Amino acid sequence: MKVGFVGLGHMGGAMAVNLKKAGHELTVYNRTRAKAERLGLKVANTPADAARDAEVVITMLADDDAVTEVVFGPSGLANTLRPGAIHLSMSTISVALSQQLAEEHSEHKQGYVAAPVFGRPQAAAEAKLFIVAAGEAGAVKKCEPLFAAMGQRTFPMGDVPVKANVVKLSGNFLIASVIETLGEALSLVRKYDVNPEKYVELLTSTLFAAPVYKTYADLIVKEQFEPAGFRLKLGLKDVRLAMAAAEAQAVPMPVASVIRDHALEGLANGMGDKDWSSLAQVVSNNAGLNGRS
């Protein structure tokens, strides 16, 4: 399939390479051109150029501002995407922007599928992402071979695109709450001189034997916050987006408010580009365990 791919960061770079490996014909664009050139793919000068001949154009960008610029900006892909071609939006973006994309693409007879992902850059590199997809059934079906090249399983959420976005945001809120509570629990046991490795082994081999606890407890105990798989800045963005979606439907999420403030505290202390597991370090610093998360 002819695929345009816009956004070759930690996630997008690996996803684009997997699409190419699966035999798709890729034209890629990245704001910082060097990141696109080192992948050995055909590089476009603008998002509009990446979308011009595409049957599907994928965006995997940092946030709402980036997606807005790349889609609706002067050299945005909405200008060139042909009627019937599909914008497959895989970034973690707001429910509000996803709704706007659905409406504007529909006005131009362009397809729109929201398909945010779960999984860190390593999962992206191994084509093991979990993909949450929603949009008009025919458009989602057309994207299935692309999902198969990038992920291990796709979870269809029906024909209303924003449903996929709200599922993704609620999931990231849950991951952030695991990091927060692991930070609190580890601070508590450390104050009593419990060995953190043994503590984590107990948890993750018994009641908490889930990937999210295993991955994040390991990063937190090893204080392996750099290089970041997912930056704290982006984690804060996602918690804010979950809170905005919640506010729009009058859903109180007090835990999200605590996490937002701790993430802000991390940013204020220069941790924005560290992995978001470093949220646990903010928590442990607050417990007087400076430098020990």
Active-site annotation, residues: 168
Q: Which of 111, 165, 108, 167 minimizes the C-alpha distance to 136?
A: 111
C-beta closer to ligand NAP: residue 9 or 161: 9
Beta carbon of residue 237, minimum distance to ligand NAP (angstroms, whole number) = 7
Rg (CA), the chain: 20
Sign of CA dihedral 285, 287, 292, 293: negative
Residue 166 three-state SS: helix
Query: Tokens in use for 248?
Result: 């729009």
Q: Which of residues 222-241 bind ligand NAP (CB under 6 A)?
A: 229-230, 234, 238
CA atoms of 36 and 12, how far apart (whole Å): 10
Tell me if 216 contacts ligand NAP by CB under 6 A: no
With contacts defined by CB under 6 A, how many residues of the chain interact with ligand NAP? 26
Helix (H) or strand (E) run with residue 114 in it: strand 111-114
Q: Which of residues 118-177 bind ligand NAP (CB under 6 A)?
A: 120-121
Beta carbon of residue 164, minimum distance to ligand NAP (angstroms, whole number) = 12
Tell me if 70 contacts ligand NAP by CB under 6 A: yes
C-beta closer to ligand NAP: residue 174 or 194: 174
C-beta closer to ligand NAP: residue 57 or 234: 234
Q: Cβ neighbours of residue 137 under 8 Å, at least 6 residues apart?
A: 159
Tell me if 62 contacts ligand NAP by CB under 6 A: yes
CA atoms of 149 and 45, how far apart (whole Å): 25
Helix (H) or strand (E) run with residue 28 in it: strand 25-29
Tell me if 30 contacts ligand NAP by CB under 6 A: yes
Other CB atoms within 10 Å distance of the CB of residue 96: 15
Beta carbon of residue 275, minimum distance to ligand NAP (angstroms, whole number) = 9
Q: Which of 66, 115, 164, 236 binds ligand NAP (CB under 6 A)?
A: 66
Interface residues with ligand NAP (CB under 6 A) are 7-12, 30-32, 35, 60-62, 65-66, 69-70, 91-92, 117, 120-121, 229-230, 234, 238
